[in-house]
Amino acid sequence: MAKGKESKPHIGIYGRRNHGKSSLINQLADQDIAIVSDHAGTTTDPVKKSFEITGFGPVVLVDTAGIDDEGDLGGKRIHKTRQSIKTIDLAILVIAHNLFGDFEEQVIGEFRKTATPFIVIHNKSDQQELDPDVRQMIETKYDCRVMDYNTTGPDHKGALIDTIKQTIPESAYKTPSLVGDLLQYGDIVLLITPIDIEAPAGRLILPQVQAIRDILDNDAVSVVLKEREVDSFLKKTGIQPSLAITDSQVFTKADSSVPDHIPLTSFSIVLARFKGDFDSYVEGTPAISRLKDGDRVLLLESCTHHVSCDDIGRVKIPRWISNFTGKNIAYEVVAGLNDLPRDIHEYALVVQCGGCMITRKQLINRIRPAVEAGIPVTNYGMAIAYVQGIYHRAIAPFVKEQTDARDYL
């Protein structure tokens, strides 16, 4: 599975070959969306299927290859199956015929490593019921729910949906506010949105749209304008916004145009707090000043997009960091959720995009290897603010209750 594009809850289906994973997906979806066959190994690479589970809501189900696949090709399929665990909010482990061994224990180990809640389903109970000793062993050892199940039993589906509701994290389907905690009724928020070669034709980019909706949801007012209109707007109207949010690429212009007493941040930093590891970003960003000649910097794009000649992640950020440090630095860009080209310890810094196209779980697991390895991580907007000398102002709206933003420099 190369990338994540959906913000809906992701539910992954895992288990050995021919244990009924695809039949389970078809039953949950009330339609034939997965190929069902008596031949083991019908499902190969992980496949995402978006639909609505009646009684729960819209989800993305991830159908995976068998965790007991064989041969060189089978090993690659198992690797992709395990990689998919980083992208999901809830796992359903399907067993059958009371088989529970190394394959299941290994995949549960991956669930735990990524803090992924899971349910165990003993499928095909019409052929062989779940052994009470097997149930007790699983529940005792792994502290999880175990259900006896068969896809031909109409009463089982409702019980499974109830269990999904009880087990899936609330954060997977309830969206917190982007800036609601900074606003009061009737506040005016200035959204500074440049229209340049990277702007999509005829529309705004997703973070800008999300910000507008969030401001409206919090009974505040959004004013959207280009960077060259800010000075004139503030002078002519006399309006004093409660907050200004800018595209990171025009941070310097926004900083000069927006008076110091008005809090200023960027769409990317708002997203960093909303779904990223904000504390790790705050701690890691100043590492830009410690970069040395020959260091390697990894830039993570969480989606694929048309690359322009002045691309923010592939061109502008590397140029700005190199100019700021004066060092000879190597840059590598990885798009989507693909594997890294080298060991994480070979990088001196990781720069993550805002992640507007993926879930919080996917983003956190994307940067987890770096955080666990002690490699500094930052975010597009925070890195840009840092090298342009306005980092303390850009993060101040979100850290002022904890400490002064300058303490992070």
List the chain pLDDT tens, one digit each, 409 residues. 333 334 688 999 999 988 988 888 888 877 665 544 444 444 455 778 887 877 778 888 888 989 988 888 888 888 889 888 988 999 999 999 999 999 999 999 999 988 899 999 999 988 999 999 999 999 999 999 899 998 876 668 888 888 998 898 877 766 678 899 999 999 999 999 988 656 667 778 888 999 999 999 999 999 999 999 999 999 999 999 999 999 988 999 999 999 999 999 999 899 888 888 899 999 999 999 999 999 999 999 876 554 454 688 889 999 999 999 999 999 999 987 778 899 999 999 999 988 877 878 888 888 999 999 999 999 999 999 999 999 999 999 998 644 444 454 4
Would the CATH topology of 10-172 be identical to that of 180-270?
A: yes
At 400 the pLDDT is: 60
At 33 the pLDDT is: 58
Six token digits for residue 262: 């008005």
Which sign does the torsion angle of CA 114, 120, 123, 127 carry? positive
Which secondary-structure segment (H or E) carries 256? Answer: helix 251-257
pLDDT digits over 303-314, tens only? Answer: 655 445 468 888
The CATH architecture of the domain made up of 180-270 is: 3-Layer(aba) Sandwich (3.40)
pLDDT digits over 213-247, tens only? Answer: 999 999 999 999 999 999 999 999 999 999 999 99
User: What is the rounded CA–CA span in Å between residue 310 and residue 383?
Assistant: 17
Which ranges of 179-240 would DSSP assign to H, the alpha helix?
206-217, 230-237
CB 253 within 8 A of CB 199: no
At 200 the pLDDT is: 66
DSSP characters over 29-90: HTS--S---SSTT---S-EEEEEEETTTEEEEEEE---TT--HHHHHHHHHHHHHHGGG-SE
CB 276 within 8 A of CB 364: yes
DSSP characters over 120-164: EEEE-TTTSPPPHHHHHHHHHHH--EEEE--TT-HHHHHHHHHHH
Six token digits for residue 76: 């690659």
User: What is the rounded CA–CA span in Å between residue 378 and residue 365?
Assistant: 15
Q: CATH number of the domain at 10-172, please?
A: 3.40.50.300
Beta carbons within 8 Å of 141's beta carbon, 6+ residues apart: none
Extents of the domains making up the chain: 10-172, 180-270, 277-387
Name the CATH code of domain 277-387 (choices 3.20.190.10, 3.40.50.11410, 3.40.50.360, 3.30.750.24).
3.40.50.11410
Which secondary-structure segment (H or E) carries 12? Answer: strand 10-15
Beta-strand pair 47-53/57-63: antiparallel
At 156 the pLDDT is: 80
Six token digits for residue 146: 């175990």
